[in-house]
């Protein structure tokens, strides 16, 4: 498996959560880097072109759904795999519409998923990229 070559961007405003993911992903052999809001995340994504973006929704400066919208406007960004990681319930029409329009792979509620299971989803996604 070519984990070493896979790049993962974490866009998350909670520093502790961000650092935890960076540490675990690096332990797994991935190249992981981070951004603390959507604006920085978008710039970093377009510059580094990661294989996968873990994206929070509620963030300062630019929220995750706006970042994803702008990302999909880019020729590279429209196809990049995104996993939304949030504590926000999908009970807003705008959130549902964004999910349908911007096509993240997953909309995962952090509180309902263990760290281990999220890591499995990440590996599953990257493995699927290898087979496609």
Asked if 104 touches other proteins (CB under 8 A), the answer is: yes
Q: What is the dihedral angle through the alpha carbons of 45, 121, 86, 89, rounded to the nearest 10 degrees? A: 140
Residue numbers 63-102 binding other proteins by CB under 8 A = 87, 89-97, 99-100
Asked if 58 touches other proteins (CB under 8 A), the answer is: no
Asked if 17 touches other proteins (CB under 8 A), the answer is: no
**Which of these segments, 8-16, 29-37, 65-73, 112-120, binds other proteins (CB under 8 A)?**
112-120
Among 103, 115, 129, 130, binds other proteins (CB under 8 A): 103
**Which of these segments, 23-31, 46-54, 71-79, 111-119, binds other proteins (CB under 8 A)?**
111-119
Binding stretches for other proteins (CB under 8 A): 87, 89-97, 99-100, 103-109, 111-114, 117
């Amino acid at each position: 498996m070519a984990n070493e070559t896979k790049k993962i961007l974490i866009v998350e405003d909670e520093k502790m959560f961000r650092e935890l993911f960076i540490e675990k992903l690096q332990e797994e052999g991935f190249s992981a880097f981070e951004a603390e809001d959507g604006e920085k995340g978008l710039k970093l994504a377009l510059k580094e072109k990661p294989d996968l973006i873990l994206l929070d929704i509620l963030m300062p400066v630019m929220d995750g759904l706006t970042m994803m919208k702008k990302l999909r406007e880019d020729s590279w960004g429209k196809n990049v795999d995104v996993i939304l990681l949030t504590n926000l319930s999908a009970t807003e029409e705008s959130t549902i519409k964004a999910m349908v329009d911007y096509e993240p792979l997953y909309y995962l509620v952090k509180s309902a998923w263990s760290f281990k299971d999220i890591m499995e989803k990440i590996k599953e996604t990257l493995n699927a990229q290898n087979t496609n």
